[in-house]
Amino acid sequence: MPSIGSAGAELAGFEFIPASAVYAKLEGGFFAEYQAWMKEIQRLAASGGASSYPAAPDAAWYPRMRALADLGDLRARLWCLRRIDHHEVAAEQRLAYWRGEAYGLATALRENEEFAMQLRVAAASAFRRVGDAEFDAWLDYLGSISTNADVQRGTVTMRMGFAHRSTNPQVAGRAAQWEAILLERWPESTEAQRLLGKRFAEQNLKIGMTAPEFVGKDVDGKEIRLSSYRGKVVVLDFWGFW
């Protein structure tokens, strides 16, 4: 297996994580079983349900991924972090395990946006068990140690969204702070434009309000304005390719 660093090693400055042939084989096997499991769940649901459903394959594959993770495979460590409930340590020790993996991987992946994004998702999968404040503190750590603008922007965006959903008053109270940072530092980013669009909708697109003016072209290329149809019944059909 190609070496990608010993477990716990700091890999600051690397450009990518070489693909491990062992991880690729394991991940492919797991994914095939997961797809088969999903199809069986859907089949049972479509047939009227069942008194019990087959267990997801995660637990069966965890020991193999954990063994690879212990050899230093960062992809395997990310995979295991997302499945903290399958870790062999007692439930009361999982916070310590989460801290070790989340902070260690944050240091290793701090300059690589692709894997930092995967890490944020992996770490977030357990936030309900580690607590909002604990997870927010970890996001603060990841943002503070990285000099990569994409990693920083992604971390700020996640903290903003997390604050909006948090039930912890201390965490939730910082949502406006993260919104302001996003708009100040990355005003042209997709995330900032999405935030502005949300604000516009909240302020202008409520039932009973006058629809905001917009200008477009009809199928013949002629300019049309929504205000030209004031007093008439108008149906707006929003569609797109996604």
Give pLDDT tens digits for 82-101.
Answer: 998 888 778 788 889 899 99
**What is the C-alpha to C-alpha distance for residues 135 and 123, in angstroms, rounded to an integer?**
8
pTM: 0.72
For residue range 115-149, what is the model confidence (pLDDT) as tens digits? 899 999 999 888 878 889 999 999 999 999 999 99
Can you tell me the mean pLDDT for 90-113? 90
Contacts of 224 (CB under 8 A, 6+ apart): 215, 216, 217, 218
Longest dimension (CA), the chain: 71
The yes-or-no verdict on residue 25 having pLDDT over 80 is yes
What share of the chain has pLDDT > 90, as a percent?
60
